[in-house]
Amino acid sequence: MISFYFFLVGCYLYYTRSKYFPESLSNFRPSSPSWLWIPLFALATGIYVFREGWASGLLLTLSAISLALILVQFTAVLGKKYFYGLVIVSHGLVLFELI
């Protein structure tokens, strides 16, 4: 789950720099550097490859990136309540895994 969380944060950082990011969520644009999503993706890919092996890890990486992009874009377009919900659920799942 921590790897997927890194992908989710990386996709969020990448999507906020896009011209398609909704204006209703403009106060959610982070002040982080525009290249920060790259090390997050590399770290998450490394974790998947280390845990699952190179073939399964790369397949999981592809699936996780696709799912993270879909979730971030879909919830951002639906509105603030859904976006807040995604943030709460993702943080809750990471905390649940760490317990």
| Burial class, 18, CB count within 10 angstroms (exposed 0-12 / middle 13-18 / buried 19+) | exposed
Assign 56 a pLDDT band (cuts: 50, 70, 90).
very high
Calpha distance 38→43 (Å, rounded): 9
Segment 49-75 mean pLDDT:
92
What pLDDT is stored for residue 17 in this prediction? 83
The mean pLDDT of the chain is: 87
Alpha helices in the chain (DSSP H): 2-16, 37-52, 54-78, 80-98
pLDDT tens column, 36-55: 889 999 999 999 999 999 99
What pLDDT is stored for residue 67 in this prediction? 92
What pLDDT is stored for residue 94 in this prediction? 86
